Amino acid sequence: MDGLKLLYKFIIIDKNTNDVVVKKTLRDVSEFMNLVCENKISHNNVRLKLIDHNFFEFECLIVHKLSFI
């Protein structure tokens, strides 16, 4: 189970296409978002948005931080 925790940290859902992407790092998340979205976002801003809640919406995407018990 510990290996899964390292592989799957963030899930990104495209609200328009219902596609789902899994990313390992905040930098991977921001790079993917910058490819898909018109506006740009840094990995630090992604981190800040995930601090208070485990998810946020950005344009057509929903980003959710996975937490394993």
pLDDT digits 0-9 by tens, 45-56: 999 999 988 999
Burial class (CB in 10 A: 0-12, 13-18, 19+), 19: exposed
Average pLDDT over residues 4-20: 88
Q: Is the pTM of this model over 0.75?
A: yes
User: d(Cα 69, Cα 46) in Å, to the nearest integer?
Assistant: 23
d(C-alpha 49, C-alpha 12), whole Å: 14
d(CA 25, CA 31) in angstroms, rounded, equals 10
Average pLDDT over residues 26-40: 96
Higher pLDDT, 55 or 67: 55
